[in-house]
Structure 1
């Protein structure tokens, strides 16, 4: 019993130390938010700001991960190479103003592409999938083509991690080929040290602007899942989502 209490104390001490170490990284970058990273093999976790990590927020474009699986499952698009014709409407980013594929739409977070996909489905279909996936609060709201940007759907950083683990281990209710395809289009970096699978997101509601960076890093020793959520209101500071995340991984000598 004494050994158990000591180990519990030690775990809490390590957690607190990690929390303080991560706080320095956040302060250095002059940003508020949370980060959760978790090992697949040992379930070891590092967390900064657990209260915010447990707060459900709009997923914004991180919802493109489950959304890609849903549209593939419903044959809205057959694979990552099928052409999505641009409707010739000029939009926010130049990179959106051209024909796309699922791969490029995911990479460039092309809003109009995923709104087009959603228009081919229904709120009932999405709500059914959210329940099957146990995704966040499992509510879409009333707007079919923008519920992940400004609707009722909310998810916490801890829940993002759990969803990503199921994606990685292919324990989601989708065909294996679709799970593998989505994991493939999530690849942002690949080198001799690690493979980074990730998705950004930015919720721009006037009352609650925040940026996401979620995914996982595969190294030769382990796979680490991460969910970073930062309070960002300025487009010019969105780079911090990825930069801070990788800084934390380097701090713990994971990469």
Structure 2
């Protein structure tokens, strides 16, 4: 963990043109962006402005919306009960609270959370947050199926 913080501190002091492209070094593509409330630093500003499906990063907002609406009262309240259905990862075959669901990136739990929020309240919150293109297809998959899209830069601003 201390290596990550040290790396982040090092990156903060770099100029944008000096930011190493960690993705190319790993023979993959991606974007890294830092926003301090005034300035942005990125390995690829063009890609940082492109909108993509938020996928797992949406779980942050899914959880915050549920907490704000009182659907779950805190991070320890069990809101998802595993019923024996087939799951992608063995770790998902468990009941979940927000803390455990985040750690496991437990899609099944966050789908349940979205259904509890409901499409009307979810849409209202996406509008309030001005979250990307604000498009919802199906309530329990819109952040995974490419209907909802947001750029890395927009996400950094929201966070």
TM value normalised by structure 2:
0.82
Gaps of 5+ in 1: 1-13, 165-255
For the structure 1 residues 151 and 76, does the alpha-carbon distance in structure 2 shift closer, same or farther, using more than 3 Å as the test? farther
Alignment of 1:224-239 (within 5 A): none
Return the alpha-carbon distance in structure 1 between the equivalents of residues 23 and 70 of structure 2.
42
Native 8 Å contact 2:65 2:125 kept in 1: yes
Alignment match, 1:38: 35
Structure-1-length-normalised TM-score: 0.53
Separation of aligned partners in 1, 2:68 and 2:35 = 29
Residue equivalent to 1:7: none
Q: Which residue of 1 aligns with 2:132?
A: 136
Matches for 1:115-194 after TM superposition, within 5 Å:
115-141=111-137, 143-164=138-159
Q: 1:22 aligns with which of 20, 23, 38?
A: 20
Contact 2:75 2:99 in 1 (8 A): yes
Extract unaligned runs of 5+ from structure 2: 1-14
**Contact 1:86/1:98 (CA < 8 Å) preserved in 2?**
yes
1:90 aligns with: 86
Q: Is the 8 A contact 1:137 1:153 kept in 2?
A: yes
Task: Specify which structure has the higher proportion of strand.
Answer: 1
Larger radius of gyration: 1
Distance in 1, matches of 2:33 and 2:117, equals: 33
CA RMSD of aligned residues (A): 1.6
- Structure 1 position 129, deviation (Å): 0.5
Deviation of the 1:131 alpha carbon: 0.8
Matched position secondary structure for 2:122 = helix
CA shift in 2, pair 1:120/1:26, >3 Å: closer
Partner of 2:44: 49
Q: Deviations over 1:150-205 (max 9, x none)?
A: 041100010011011xxxxxxxxxxxxxxxxxxxxxxxxxxxxxxxxxxxxxxxxx
State yes or no: 1:62 paired with 2:62.
no
